[in-house]
Amino acid sequence: MLPRGGTVLVTGGLGGLGRTVAEHLVAAHGARLLIVGRTPASQLPDGSREALEILATVGEVRYRAADVADPDALAREVTEAERAWGRGLDLVLHLAGTPVAPQWERLSEHELRTESAGWLSRMLRPKAGGCAAVDRLLAARPGTAVVLFSSVNGLFGGTGFGAYAAANAVLDGWAQRWAATGRRAQSLAWSMWDGPGMNQGSPLVAAARHRGLALIDPARGTVALLGALHAGVVHLLIGADPENEQIKPFLAADQLRGGTIAVAVVPGPGEDPQRVRSAVAARLAGEGIFARVAVTSRIERDRSGAPDAAAVLAAIGSGGGGYTAPEGPVEELVAGAAVDVLAVPRIGREDSFFSLGCDSVRALQLAEALSERLGARVTVGSLYESPTVRALAATIAAPV
Ligand SMILES: NC(=O)c1ccc[n+]([C@@H]2O[C@H](COP(=O)([O-])OP(=O)(O)OC[C@H]3O[C@@H](n4cnc5c(N)ncnc54)[C@H](OP(=O)(O)O)[C@@H]3O)[C@@H](O)[C@H]2O)c1
């Protein structure tokens, strides 16, 4: 991704994570850096100024004050740097972000429904605005790779971090979009870094660790970064424990709940819908695409013959290929419990619990309700492994 002596734009490169990453790029790869932040060089706080001085003694590093969301300013600085380097831009590392510390003590004000327009815009500016400006840069630089520093909040959401989660989800979307055009693009969704950075001193670290989010020390973070760059996966979660009970629902193989991409598949004649869905989901997940995969009986098309996205979404939103009634006493029992716990009017045999609002708490309630009704233990894990009425019923051997 980065040849020796390659050129890199690092937005937010004097922030906590940016310094570590910049240091590694310069020292280990001989990279030439253009670092961008809003603070004028003469007003940099001591830590950032010292970091810049150290970087400049190790390699070729220039710092320019510019708002990453200002496309003209960003283009100007990059063009000037390219002239000085005598080489085009190899890589954009986009780290610029608004610190979350001010919201730690007032989390309830930062759910999406309580979020202020002002704070939402502050959060979106460096990430959404920054990506739009980077997109303008990339348009004229087809060979330039781009790596975005995102957060697990982009996929998992996060009570009290509504705007921050939205801003990071935007990054994840841009990476998918650039990658879809054949560009080398990645969005790395980190849990929390230890040491300098926007999570330093966070009172929420212990709670986050309990929820399966690791605290990453800078040395391990750098190694993880190198591994991620090497792997080239478009959207990568780093520091989230996939075995944690609170994280599992988001990663259930056939139903990535945090997904913003919906994929509709039509099984061939005689094919098992559940197997088709699992296979498609596994393939997409392998490519780093977080999508909600649904089976449907047909893809509606518009007059021109193109897929009718609205009609397809409406169909899969209501349970894919239409409602199929549960069959036999075990499926009926499973469906009945799911209807009660999930408070939905009905559930078909191929509907996934997780596409009908089953979260970690409801998964626990559903497992308990089923255990009680069946007189045999049904684990939460089995819901994730067999997330439909039909699949779960097939795994239940207890007499009804
Ligand atoms: N730290 C973590 O644990 C963690 C975890 C997950 C994800 N991340 C993500 O990783 C990135 C880096 O985090 P960090 O902890 O290093 O943050 P940080 O220490 O707060 O640094 C953020 C940097 O972004 C710059 N910046 C903010 N808005 C900008 C704008 N509009 N234009 C140009 N520069 C701007 C800031 O410089 P100026 O103030 O001078 O503009 C600052 O140098 C962030 O995007 C963050 O969301 C961090």
* CATH fourth-level superfamily of 328-395: ACP-like (1.10.1200.10)
Most distant CA atoms of the chain, gap in Å: 76
Which contacts qualify for 277-284: CB closer than 8 Å, 24 or more apart?
Answer: 278/253, 278/254, 281/253, 281/254, 281/255, 281/256, 282/253
Ligand 1 lined by 218 (C-beta under 6 Å): no
Q: Output the pLDDT for position 287.
A: 67
Eight-state DSSP code of residue 43: G
Lowest mean pLDDT among 123-132, 165-174, 207-216: 207-216
pLDDT band at 400 (very low <50, low <70, confident <90, very high): very low
Atom nearest to 39 CA in ligand 1: 40
Q: Output the pLDDT for position 135.
A: 96
For residue 316, what are the contacts with CB-CB under 8 A and spacing of at least 6? 262, 264, 292, 294, 296
Mean pLDDT of 202-218: 90
Higher pLDDT, 318 or 348: 348
Mean pLDDT of 267-279: 85
28 C-alpha vs ligand 1 centroid, how far in Å?
23
Instruction: Express each pLDDT in 57-83 by its tens digit.
Output: 999 999 999 999 999 999 999 999 999
According to the 3-state scheme, what is the secondary structure of 62-131?
A: EEEECCCCCHHHHHHHHHHHHHHHCCCCCEEEECCCCCCHHHHHHHHHHCCCCCCHHHHHHHHHHHHHHH
Q: Output the pLDDT for position 355.
A: 66
Higher pLDDT, 386 or 32: 32
Higher pLDDT, 255 or 116: 116
Question: What is the distance of C-alpha 343 from the center of its chain?
Answer: 28
The model's pTM is: 0.73
Domain boundaries, the chain: 7-241, 261-317, 328-395
Please, which residues bridge with residue 262 across strands? 292
Ligand 1 lined by 97 (C-beta under 6 Å): yes
For the cut 70, the answer to whether the pLDDT of residue 153 exceeds it is yes
Atom nearest to 97 CA in ligand 1: 45
Write the DSSP string, 315-378: HHHTTSS------HHHHHHHHHHHHHHHT-S---TT-BGGGGT--HHHHHHHHHHHHHHHTS--
For the cut 50, the answer to whether the pLDDT of residue 233 exceeds it is yes
**372 HSE (CA, 13 A, CB side):** 9
pLDDT band at 336 (very low <50, low <70, confident <90, very high): very high
Mean pLDDT of 314-324: 60
Per DSSP bridges, beta strands 261-265 and 32-37 are unpaired
Instruction: Give the Cα separation of 244 and 240 in Å (integer).
Output: 8
Ligand 1 lined by 197 (C-beta under 6 Å): yes
Instruction: Express each pLDDT in 291-307 by its tens digit.
Output: 677 888 888 888 888 88
Radius of gyration of the chain (CA): 24
For the cut 70, the answer to whether the pLDDT of residue 263 exceeds it is yes
pLDDT band at 148 (very low <50, low <70, confident <90, very high): very high
Eight-state DSSP code of residue 301: B
Q: Output the pLDDT for position 25.
A: 96
For the cut 70, the answer to whether the pLDDT of residue 363 exceeds it is yes
Looking at domain 7-241, its CATH architecture is 3-Layer(aba) Sandwich (3.40)
Please, which residues bridge with residue 151 across strands? 190
pLDDT band at 258 (very low <50, low <70, confident <90, very high): very low
How many helical (H) and strand (E) elements, i.e. helices and strands, does the chain have?
Answer: 16, 11
Whether the CB-CB separation of 65 and 11 falls below 8 Å is answered with: no
- Listed in order, strand segments (DSSP E) in 123-165 are 145-151
For the cut 60, the answer to whether the pLDDT of residue 318 exceeds it is no
Mean pLDDT of 4-30: 96
Q: Is 32 exposed, middle or buried (0-12, 13-18, 19+ CB in 10 A)?
A: buried
Judge if 7-241 and 328-395 fold alike in CATH terms. no
Ligand 1 lined by 39 (C-beta under 6 Å): yes
* Tokens encoding 398: 């207890």
